[in-house]
Amino acid sequence: MSYGNDEVRWEVVTAFVCLGLARGEKVLVLPCPGVPEEEVLARIDFPSRSTVPARERGQLVLTSMRELLLPDTEFTAARQLGRLRAATDRATAEGYAGLRAFIDMGWVPALGTDVTVMERRETGADALFAGRPYTEICAYDRRRFDRKVVAAMERAHPRAVLERLGTLRSVRGPDEALCFVGEADAANQAAFARSLEIALARTAAARRLTVDLTRLHFLSVGCAVALLTLARGAAGHDLVEVRCDGGQRRMLRRLGSDAVPRLTPTEVVRPC
């Protein structure tokens, strides 16, 4: 994730910590160096002191990258990945369902680590998760990192966290599909339609576009109508495939998707 103000950062940390505790996982929080421990605890405890028992029993641990690397002092990707793998194994041995870590990347400049070294770590961390009950959020403060670095890190990770609930993002999938993430509601309808217009223009030569709605938490009638209207007007396309869940497909059908010749809804079953 990336953030541009502290409120966003603490909202994500709090939600991530609470979810991990509720799932019976051990939780590590590595805040930005320089942030007092008292502030971190006050933020994640707000509005109640719900994390106090977890800290007392060792389920929630505030630490730092420097402490994680001990007894070594120099960061290497192999060293950090090894420490996190070992921490995951210890967590499961202690009876926890897994391990999750929130890592604020402010430690990179604080330890004098070269950003390119960190980029290689981020693009080669698959072994950290494969077959292991481990979850991680890497948080980049856009006030500290160059925009190109943040963009590269976003491409390197399998998921990018929305900064706030109620927002909408459009991204290109691995197969060049237009993927919508978040909430396609009335407030985001203009952005939804604009993303579709750009995608249709971009795929004019190929004469086909795939739109993926399966990562939306909400699809409004207005956005669904905008999709059907733009697909109906896309005379230069032979096919507009819409990947959707069952509820989204029923909505599109009730709104007249069967009358749009070039539009093909494809129902995708979401994983449990």
Query: What is the pLDDT at residue 119?
Result: 77
Q: Indicate if the pLDDT at residue 46 is higher than 80.
A: no
Query: What is the pLDDT at residue 272?
Result: 47
Q: Indicate if the pLDDT at residue 50 is higher than 90.
A: no
Query: What is the pLDDT at residue 152?
Result: 84
251-267 tens-digit pLDDT? 999 999 999 989 999 99
Candidate from 11-25, 34-48, 172-186 with smallest mean pLDDT: 34-48
SS (H, E, C) the chain: CEECCHHHHHHHHHHHHHHHHHCCCEEEEECCCCCCHHHHHHHHHCCCCCCHHHHHCCCEEECCHHHHHCCCCCCCHHHHHHHHHHHHHHHHHCCCCCEEEEEECCHHHHCCCCHHHHHHHHHCCHHHHCCCCEEEEEEEECCCCCHHHHHHHHHHCCCCCCCCCCCEEEEECCCCCEEEEEEECHHHHHHHHHHHHHHHHHCCCCCEEEEEEEEEEEECHHHHHHHHHHHHHCCCCCEEEEEECHHHHHHHHHCCHHHCCCEEEEECCCCC
Q: Indicate if the pLDDT at residue 120 is higher than 80.
A: no
Average pLDDT along the chain: 89
Residue 200 or residue 162, greater confidence: 200
132-187 tens-digit pLDDT? 899 999 999 999 898 888 888 887 787 788 877 788 999 887 778 999 999 999 99
Residue 210 or residue 77, greater confidence: 210
